Amino acid sequence: MVAPGGGGGASSWPSEGELDVVRQKVVEISGRVAGEVRVVACPYRICPLGAHVDHQGGTVTAMTINYGVLLGFVASDDAEISLQSGQFEGVIRFRVDDLQKPIENPENINWESYARGAVYALQNFGYDLKKGIIGYISGAKGLDSSGLSSSAAVGIAYLMALENVNDLVVSPVDNIQLDKSIENKYLGLENGILDPSAILLSRYGYLTFMDCKGCNITYRRSVDIIREFLSAKRLPAVKMHQVFFVMCILEENLARRAEHYFSETKRVVKGRDAWARGDLHEFGQLISASGRSSILNYECGSKEMIQLYEILLKAPGVLGARFSGAGFRGCCLAIVESGHAEEAAAFVRVEYEKAQPELVSKIQPDRRVLVCQPGDGARVI
């Protein structure tokens, strides 16, 4: 659950305590002093509106939350990379001047793959890497494969650490393409620009608005909101009667897919404007409508996820809810009034355990419902 805050201020994540833990781990494995340790903070992201339209070049909204990946690191004395993880055992060692070849079988992807993928992407974009890193990486426990883009956060963390120790100046837009190269070219996955764009471009207290056809950035102020755009050349406008005609000649399931795409595009624009006006009630209603369309028109969602979505809509103070991700696993997100956040969380814990007792028993108690705040973009601390 996300309880929106006002503009200004700063994200509460990462806390000094979280940073100290990561710095101390790096001190232990590197033998350096704490003052030398830098930390990349890469937050997880949610997309309140824009379900299943990013891969078709549509518009989406996004924001980061106050959970994510922390990568503490110091520069190596040479080209070697040495990494340890808070979630996985063992030590990764390889060199930045080793030639990295794409993974041929996706089943072979593991936590080492993202570090190698970052080196692969930087090599292939022509960046000169001379120094490696000694690092310790840790994500928010229990949130892997949760529909919050933890894999993109990991890839970006490695990119930013390697850029830092090699004195490379790389723009957020270029890092979006570098992370896309990790996912598409090295790992063989078909991910787009949504996840890295949200992680790199979001700002605390703001809603990020993206057109996934391109990657030019402009800024616009409305009330107390800065909206960031990834804009691109527009195709000629399609009139709604033309869309209706096309839908009439499509098979029923394809017509529903088209209905979802065009109605979701409208919801994104309406949601952007509602947020700018400070109308969170309308914003929430649009999120819930997005969730319904994903279920009915795009036919997404497992039984377990649909039940969770329906329970969230009944929770006190919830303004809107939908799946986070495709809806077949992971989690649901809800926008909730801050004064009702804990009450809503307690309601969902009880009701979902009634509906899915076996599933809930497998989830850590402190990870069943999380009350989150909007976060900031990826950065080196």
3 state SS of 89: coil
Site of tokens 């969380």: 345
What is Dmax (Cα atoms) for the chain? 68
Q: Which of the 8 DSSP states describes residue 381? A: -
Q: How far apart (Å, rounded) are the C-alpha atoms in residues 269 and 262?
A: 11
- Evaluate whether 358 touches 303 at the Cβ level (below 8 Å): no
Q: For residue 78, give Cα distances in angstroms to 4, 86, 99, 115, 132.
A: 45, 24, 16, 17, 6
Catalytic-residue membership of 366: no
Residue of 54, 78, 97, 195 with catalytic role: 195
The contacts of residue 16 (CB under 8 Å, 6+ apart) are none
Rounded CA gap, 6 and 221, in Å?
Answer: 15
Q: How far is Cα 98 from Cα 86, in angstroms, rounded to an integer? A: 25
Contact 97, 132 (CB under 8 A): no
Tell me the Ramachandran region of residue 208: left when phi exceeds 0, alpha when psi lies from -120 to 50, beta otherwise: beta
Q: Which residues contact 179 (CB under 8 A, 6 or more apart)?
A: 121, 152, 155, 156, 159, 195, 196
Residues acting as catalytic residues: 195
